[in-house]
Structure 1
Amino acid sequence: MYVITFANPKGGSGKTTSAMLLAEQIALSGGRVSILDLDPNANILAWSEGRQAAGRDVPFAVHARPQAEDTVELIDQLADEADYLIIDLEGSKDQVVTFALSRTDLCVIPLDGSPMEARQAAAAVRLVQTTSSMIRAPIAYSLLFTRTNAAFQTTDERDVRQEMEINNIPTLPIRIAKRAPYTRIFRDGVLLAELPDIVTNEHQGKTASVTDKALKQVAGAIENARDYAQAVIHALTKERAA
């Protein structure tokens, strides 16, 4: 089982959305996926419970935060049911975060490209490195630029990228743009793959140009999510092979 964790001490970095997008894309490709929601806000768990209460399918198992001392045991047990375990970590330097990182194959650290978020991402990198030293084993990690402008790269993002390159901090080649369809995942309790049909139904009676524009936004979000998931899997398998 591959274990992929998402870490950033700052809220609003796109951590939970990135975890959800990855889980859906892997599940769509036929992989067995489980999510362990360690974030105190438990947004993924609430999303899953809401869908189940409405009688809608959840394509992956979602597990609630265990007691800290049970974290490693739960992760190891989930290897029987999943090919990929995605863990949404809480932001603080909690013991449960250290336990989860100790079982991590790849830690993804989302940030929006601003200098302030770069400092928060650096704190997450230090936490990964500290845990790696503690367990005396390497833990692979990579930054992920999220909530970016889909049309162009800002000056701040370019400067942060250059700084990361200078310091040899790995960064995923795909950015997750700030898109309205991603917001709907949690707001409306939907899967990204469900949005084409939902948007089509919502735009019945509207002009073709308006409908096409809305569907293009969804198609762009799906393509972005697919490319991002492929980049994560490539990084993951590369690290496992090494």
Structure 2
Amino acid sequence: MQDFKDKAGIVTGAASGIGAAVARELVAQGGRVVIADFDEDAARALSDELGAQSTAVFRLDVADPAANEALVAFTLGSFDRLDFAVNNAGIGAPAAKLADIPLNSWSRVIDVDLNSVFYAMKYQIPAMTARGGAIVNMASILGAVGWAGSTAYVTAKHALLGMTKVAALDYADAGVRINAVGPGFVSTPALEKNMTEQAIAELAGKHALGRLARPEEIAAVTAFLLSDRASFVTGTYYPVDGGYLAV
């Protein structure tokens, strides 16, 4: 498939994990991608893998509004168009009950996981309205349910779904489609590094399919939502969760 031939766009948090899988999928389908990430070295390594003709690299602090504006300008300067964007970058925080969360930890998670998506769309959408476009905001199953000890993350992901829906309504007449994807727990090097085998097995058991997701499975649904094959899909939340929410 070449769903993204002659199209170009942005993936944030693209240097590893889900973001890297999304970038690979989009390039494989003919797209050109700005690999935007705080880890510039890892972003350049992925760009080298995918090829300089199909990628560009931008060092991005997603919590900085000016950096998001500069990213859109960089994308237009690099590829002369912005057809799609995947707002994927995010962080978690150490588990803590609400009253025990340090204020700076709360602010950082909300800035990176929620405010950053507002900044991103604020500058992405005007660049798309001339010819239309598609945006996917990376939420989580924790945008639909709670998880003890994760107040800031769960709050950010719930709010992200509301922002996605309103933005989709606001810009439907401009031809910009905006959706959210909600991954279940995903097998990534970071998760495997920070959890024991027993903890990973217990986490996998919370999914009806009895395993964690692969990043490529999240990327496949994300690419579909960005493509013209999803031309009648906007304002929606797509869990890719192995049945987690059905258990």
Normalising by structure 1, report the TM-score: 0.51
Note the aligned Cα RMSD (angstroms).
Answer: 4.6
**Could you tell me whether the CA contact under 8 Å between 1:4 and 1:106 is conserved in 2?**
yes
Alignment of 1:3 with 2:7, yes or no, is yes
Alignment of 1:106 with 2:106, yes or no, is no
| CA-to-aligned-CA distance 1:107-150 (integer Å, 9 cap, x gap) | 112254964332221111121133346xxx23423242257659
Task: Give the aligned residue type for 2:224.
Answer: I
Structure 2 unaligned residues grouped into runs of 5+: 61-66, 92-108, 147-153, 170-176, 234-247
Aligned-partner Cα distance in 1 for 2:155–2:232? 35
**Could you tell me whether the CA contact under 8 Å between 1:35 and 1:87 is conserved in 2?**
yes
Task: Give the aligned residue type for 1:140.
Answer: G
- Picking from 118, 122, 128, the partner of 1:122 is 118
What is the match of residue 62 of structure 1? 51
Which structure has more relative contact order (CA 8 Å, sep 6+)? It is 1
What is the match of residue 127 of structure 2? 131
Aligned-partner Cα distance in 2 for 1:241–1:162? 19
| CA-to-aligned-CA distance 1:139-183 (integer Å, 9 cap, x gap) | 423242257659945344223312332343654443245645243
From the superposition, tell whether residues 171 and 241 of structure 1 become closer, same or farther in structure 2 (CA, over 3 Å): closer
What is the match of residue 204 of structure 1? none
What is the match of residue 142 of structure 1? 135
Secondary structure class of the residue paired with 1:138? coil
What is the match of residue 103 of structure 2? none
Alignment of 1:232 with 2:220, yes or no, is no
What is the match of residue 197 of structure 1? none
What is the Cα deviation at residue 33 of structure 1?
Answer: 7.0
Higher Cα Rg: structure 1 or 2? 1
Alignment of 1:174 with 2:178, yes or no, is no
What is the match of residue 16 of structure 1? 15
Secondary structure class of the residue paired with 1:103? coil
Aligned-partner Cα distance in 1 for 2:189–2:216? 9
Normalising by structure 2, report the TM-score: 0.50
Aligned-partner Cα distance in 2 for 1:98–1:115? 28
Structure 1 unaligned residues grouped into runs of 5+: 9-13, 50-59, 64-77, 79-84, 188-208
Alignment of 1:159 with 2:159, yes or no, is yes
Aligned-partner Cα distance in 2 for 1:48–1:39? 12
**Could you tell me whether the CA contact under 8 Å between 1:109 and 1:124 is conserved in 2?**
yes
